[in-house]
Amino acid sequence: MAGSPADEPLRLGVLGAARITSLSVVAPAAATGHRLVAVAARDAARATAFADEHGVERVLGSYAEVLADPDVEAVYNPLPNALHAEWNVRAAEAGKHVLAEKPSALDATEARRVRDAVHASGVVFMEAFHYPYHPLFQRVCALLGDGAVGEVERVEAVLRMPAPPEDDPRWSRELGGGATMDLGCYALSCVRLLGRFAGGEPRVVAARADTRAGRPGVDERLFADLEFPSGATGLAGSDMDSADRDMSLTVRGSAGELVVPMFPVPHEGDSLVLRRDGEPEVVEHLGTRTSYTYQLEAFASAVRQGTPVLTDAAWSVASAELVDAAYAASGVREPATA
């Protein structure tokens, strides 16, 4: 809020009582001294239990009441994917800064509406792809910028996990589910962020996908082949019904390769491995303080001090366009909105 001291805690409102919130906002707020002043959920009892468990100052009767609360200056939106864009727009129109759980919209059309609302209101908007704010990913970028692997030739970001239960919202088309919406968007965002080391934005040249049995239009897995302006190639995607869990990033170049085994979850594994031709392998550890904590610090800095946001509303549009292209190339479905 304009005029607030740079070190004043953020006053955050939470939309819903999603499971991810304890990791993504509650623990980071406790670690950094920011306030959780309000929460609302469709189920009032669940909101009350959430507030009691996590020390939220008060429970309100609806999401709209959170946006109308003058003590709430910023909101965290972890609602189901299908509700992200609507409430991101409504929050911006209410003059609230927005930390929007990824993906911030179902497709590029929705993302443009969010961007336009954010630009019209002048609020800070951050899409909660948290890993770029962690020193692990920043070190990856520094090494690539220094030519540690030579000219970048191949970028692979592949995420795999065992299947959620059948009644999980991640399998619901109506709620914006699917492997790409939950996992693959991380992979696609990662190759975008690394595009500056391969000439710019990647484009989808082909994609393969399988739908979940009995769930039309919901991808169980999707992998996209990509090409960068430099001629480097890429692979990005996810499998949400895998026997194993894999969260890896690999960058191969003319002089070696860089491997990050757990790039989106550095609190589970903070290592990177650099292998240069003819040299001993180098392993670095960049710390297991969560990327969510670094993300909240970056969000607060943007609100209080005007620090630029990497994953801002314009960035979200470009990421949604890449997701749309992957879906279109795979044949699983067209974008969710016209």
152, 106: one domain: no
Q: Is residue 335 situated within a structural domain?
A: no
140, 125: one domain: no
141, 109: one domain: no
Domain of 160 in residue numbering reads as 131-289
Backbone angles phi, psi at 127, to 5 degrees: -80, 130
268, 160: one domain: yes
Interval 106-153: pLDDT, tens: 999 999 999 999 999 999 999 999 999 999 999 999 999 999 999 999
Show the tokens assigned to 144: 């690539």
Amino acid at 47: A
Active site residues: 102
Give dist(CA 321, CA 108) in Å, integer: 5
Q: Is residue 204 situated within a structural domain?
A: yes
175, 237: one domain: yes
Domain count, the chain: 2
Interval 276-315: pLDDT, tens: 999 999 999 999 999 999 999 999 999 999 999 999 999 9
Mean of pLDDT over the chain: 95
